[in-house]
Structure 1
Amino acid sequence: MIATILKQPGETLRSAVAFSGNASIAAIRAVTVTARGLVPGAAALGANATLSGGIVTLALSGGSDGERYAVAVRGDDAQGQTLESEVEVVLIESNWATPDGGAGWLSIAAFVKRFTLDEVVRMTDTDGSGRIDRDLLIGALVDAQAIAEAHIASRYTLPLATVPRILEMAVGDIARTRLYPRGAPEGIADQAKAAMALLVRIQKGEATLGVPAAALPAEAVSDAPILIAPGRRAYSDWLKDY
């Protein structure tokens, strides 16, 4: 099985390469990179291999968003046998922002890791290119985050300094169902319903995020009763003969 590595175009990512039987490599013979051709004119992917303690590590740099690259590494083990390992590097611009410029709570890479690349491509690849439709996916994430924000805004100050894992999960589950325009399968729909139920509990104060809550107005949180005491009449004769 070929391992899949997710990488952003602007980052340099280091990843160890596994060989059959977890073999220890004594020498690197060659590293070859082949673009799949999903993005016309895609930038080349740099793949520099280093060897330390029998482990080959790739330093991956460059590449174009949406493209996939096959990286094959050939090396000799301690017995002089030549082995080959291949990884697929998928370039994804992971970060996104809400329409008002706020940060996305769940990155595209995290969404893909949770629900698998195959499913995300299948549900967003509207033109048969084999790529994630970034705009379609971001639209689902924006909608899901807006729903979550609407539920917690009365209890927590937005934007959140840190996003709890539980909110990332909720946004992911809700966004996932929005990628099924004809209705999500039962199990996927159930996860979204559970996420919505959790948001309602947070809104009602029955569940917490573990982060500081919003400073609510005193009258909204005070349990003290309002007491009205009778006072003295300003005019004891009730303004007689006025």
Structure 2
Amino acid sequence: MPYITKADLIRRYTETKLRQLTDREAPYTGAIVDAVLEQGIASAGSVIDGHLSGRYTLPLTVVPPLLTDVAARLAVAALHVDTAPEKITADCQAAIRTLRDIAAGTVQLDVGGVEAAPATPAGIEVDAAPRAFGRENLRGW
């Protein structure tokens, strides 16, 4: 299940803006090029999955609105082949920070029925054999 759809992106960014970002090659169609838009959506999805995979069971059955917002920001940033405007860059960076917070467990997703994976303990435990030579063993030598 994708985190965002074409209709969601049109509602958020307008058809005109998406047409400008996707209709890149001659002969120009004057419409949104679905193949290019799908690449942006897939790129956003892979970034989100990469951050969620350590904490949640994927694929999610329900997409929370927070992830739809994050996916929109990432997808539009991915559609900019040249330098993106400052607003788009700032939105993309904010989306990545949100994903890092989700991965760290600072932000919890309400995904109904999907349990967050337990956090792994910080640190490594080592069980070693007793020392062969130490203060107690060498006393009196």
Report the TM-score range of the alignment, normalised by the length of the smaller protein: 0.7 to 0.9
Question: How many angstroms apart in 1 are the aligned matches of 2:117 and 2:80?
Answer: 38
**Corresponding residue to 2:68 among 162, 165, 168:** 168
The aligned counterpart of 1:118 is 16
1:133 and 2:29 correspond: no
Q: TM-score, normalised by structure 2?
A: 0.79
Q: What letter corresponds to residue 152 of structure 1 in structure 2?
A: L
1:76-125 Cα offsets, whole Å, 9 max, x none, are xxxxxxxxxxxxxxxxxxxxxxxxxxx21211111111111110001111
The aligned counterpart of 1:208 is 108
Identity of matched residues, %:
28
Question: How many angstroms apart in 1 are the aligned matches of 2:83 and 2:55?
Answer: 31
1:158 and 2:58 correspond: yes
In the alignment of these two chains, the number of paired residues is 125
Question: How many angstroms apart in 2 are the aligned matches of 1:193 and 1:150?
Answer: 16
Q: What letter corresponds to residue 190 of structure 1 in structure 2?
A: A
* Structure 1 contact 140–178 (Cα < 8 Å) conserved: yes
Unaligned ranges ≥5, structure 2: 128-141
Q: Which runs of 4+ in 1 moved over 3 A?
A: 214-217
**Corresponding residue to 1:178 among 69, 78, 88:** 78
The aligned counterpart of 2:139 is none
* Structure 2 contact 54–117 (Cα < 8 Å) conserved: no
Cα RMSD of the aligned pairs, angstroms, is 2.5
Unaligned ranges ≥5, structure 1: 1-102, 229-242
The aligned counterpart of 1:22 is none
* Structure 1 contact 124–137 (Cα < 8 Å) conserved: yes
Question: How many angstroms apart in 2 are the aligned matches of 1:191 and 1:157?
Answer: 26
Superposition deviation, residue 188 in structure 1: 1.1
Question: How many angstroms apart in 1 are the aligned matches of 2:104 and 2:6?
Answer: 30
1:143 and 2:43 correspond: yes
